[in-house]
Amino acid sequence: DISGLRNLQRVDRRARDLIRFTQAMFCGTVPSLFASRAFLERRGIDMAADPPEEFRWRGEGCPGPTKAVMSDGRVFKGTYNELWDENPWTTQFRCKICPDAIGLCADLAVGDDWPGGLPQGEDDGWNAVIAHTVNGLRILDACEEAGDLTLLDVDVRHLDSVQPHHVRLRQGLSTRLAACAAAGLPEPEFHDLALDDCAAAFGADKRDQEYQGTLRRLMAGHGDEDQLADYGAAVQQQLEDQ
């Protein structure tokens, strides 16, 4: 989203003048309702026949529970890990070729800060915050001065350990794009994303696996938006292979 805004700001003075600050979160994709439906099914609820009045994927804590409130007052809760780690989920193919799911173009980018990329239980609300611009840094400093944030400086490589799935996604991005091009999909142009460096860090074997895997998914129709990619399972497998 911020990339689109930056493109607009290149050509639109009002966008430059009026939008003074941008913040993005590390995006975990927009999943389908598959995981939510399955969460309810494990509790004996058919979401289509008996939809919850309220459903929270997280919140009310860090990360907080997955929570469904039914019209008759019943409340079902589960953990973040049950929803996103212990069971399969699906998402859109576009998220597999997302050029910037970590807010590189934003003044500030924020993300979860859990060792290995998964919560070890509830924590006190710690997050990773990255200032990409002087503007972002000034805002962070102002928040700290106002007592709204407590900041701890860490090396940027800390992100590798708390966001390993984004490391893998970026390392494999140019390979997935190459597979898309080979399958005849339109080729987007991305600049300044250090994708060649990311791909080099991936290694030839993994690039080959990624290429073949993406081609197989595309041939099975997963590149169409009305289809779903088995994103979660694939990433889990990749992480296990590390």
Q: What are the tokens at 29?
A: 């994709």
Question: Cβ of residue 144: shortest distance to ligand SF4, in angstroms?
Answer: 28
Say if CB 57 and CB 38 are below 8 A apart.
no
Please, which residues have CB within 8 angstroms of residue 213's CB and are 6 or more apart in sequence? 234
By beta-carbon proximity to ligand SF4, the closer residue of 30 and 146 is 30
By beta-carbon proximity to ligand SF4, the closer residue of 30 and 134 is 30
By beta-carbon proximity to ligand SF4, the closer residue of 98 and 228 is 98
CA 12 to chain CA mean position, Å: 29
Say if CB 46 and CB 38 are below 8 A apart.
no
Question: Cβ of residue 109: shortest distance to ligand SF4, in angstroms?
Answer: 12
DSSP state of 231: H
Question: Cβ of residue 218: shortest distance to ligand SF4, in angstroms?
Answer: 17
Alpha helix (H) residue ranges in 125-220:
134-145, 158-162, 164-182, 195-202, 204-219
Question: Cβ of residue 233: shortest distance to ligand SF4, in angstroms?
Answer: 17
By beta-carbon proximity to ligand SF4, the closer residue of 11 and 30 is 30
By beta-carbon proximity to ligand SF4, the closer residue of 42 and 94 is 94
Question: Cβ of residue 100: shortest distance to ligand SF4, in angstroms?
Answer: 7
Binding residues for ligand SF4, rule: CB under 6 A, are: 27, 29-30, 94-95, 98, 101
Please, which residues have CB within 8 angstroms of residue 41's CB and are 6 or more apart in sequence? 47
